[in-house]
Chain A
């Protein structure tokens, strides 16, 4: 493990934070875990607002440098700590990784985060909330199945773990554990999930293993 001055502001259940936790584990970087309780509204504290004015986790502090947004953090880590690269060399494969990452990060996750779900639930109840979530996850997962079909190997874009896997693993975990979705229509994603379950770097990053985990 590499000694660092890294601090990660994270919430156990945040899939965006999970992506970064996986990367830190893969690159074997030690970090201080700073819990931000989203349910209690700790993301709105003056201290945290200064770090990330959008009041989302994760946020990474590396000495004088503050990076928020999981994608920006991952690219920062990739450039500063090149061990266990998160991106392949080949431009086409890189593009596949960026696309898969963004299907999750722009087409699925924003539509199923706490803020949006709360809105839907307040307006029309928890039944509608689940319908909404499942619709967007299923649409995104169907697109991922198609995108990765010709590129997947042991992992999403070949036989090595790359950026796409860091986005997929937390999203699949949330779909299965949190939203209790039936994923039989998504055999590739299920197979990838099994592969991620074998990797300590992934497993140690999952919600249930975090210091601020609260069993429900």
Chain B
């Protein structure tokens, strides 16, 4: 465990983006202080939090003087500053694959199905359209990931070790299954990866229900 000055993570229990960082911090054996930002109550719009992240999103990581927002940027920062249990393999093709898979989740899927966008879709076009939109964008992303990882996946997304792709995939899969009722049996490779991640204590400790601000 790191004995340097404590990392602070601004997080919300249900945020899949914060979940990624929680999982990664656990994988690297990094202790951190959990600070809850209640998205349901709009705490992300407080002047104090806006100063940390003008986009008003969690997660935000504070490491001494350094403030990093955006889960992708946070993971790359953590990987560079705390190299233990590397989040990226050394092989160039597998490295690229991890970054690509992570970005499929982080740029092509999650931004289109986050709460604020879904609210817009529902307000403008109704709840049925919202459901269709979620299903379409989630399944499109998963179909691509299934094709991408089919020939590379082992126990985990790109082989026998947990890397960045897994860190992005597992929370997204969990959310798709539990929140959006997506049938993951259609994506056997992704389903297998998710099952493997669920067996990891580091993943189990990162799940929403085990966070200090979980409302159960």
Contacts and interface: CB of A to CB of B under 8 A. Distances in A.
Interface of A: 53-56, 65-69, 71-73, 75-76, 79-80, 91-92, 94-95, 98-99, 101-103, 105-107, 109-111, 116, 123-124, 128, 139-140, 142-143, 146-147
A69 B111 contact: no
Given A72-B103, A124-B124, A91 B80 contact: yes
Main secondary structure of the interface of A (DSSP, over half): helix
A185 B124 CA distance: 28
A99 B107 contact: no
Contact of A106 (B107, B125, B144, B148): B107
Interface stretch (B23-31, B62-70, B169-177): B62-70
Contacts of A55: 144
B92 A65 contact: yes
Interface residues of B, number: 38
Contact of A80 (B72, B92, B144): B92
Interface string B109-144: 011100001000000110001000000000001011
Contact of A105 (B76, B103, B112, B144): B103
Interface stretch (B93-101, B155-163, B207-215): B93-101
B85 interface: no
B100 A99 contact: no
Contact of B73 (A66, A95, A109): A95
6 contacts: A53-B147, A54-B108, A54-B144, A69-B103, A75-B95, A95-B68
Contacts of B111: 106-107, 110-111
B124 A99 contact: no
Contacts of A91: 66, 77, 80-81
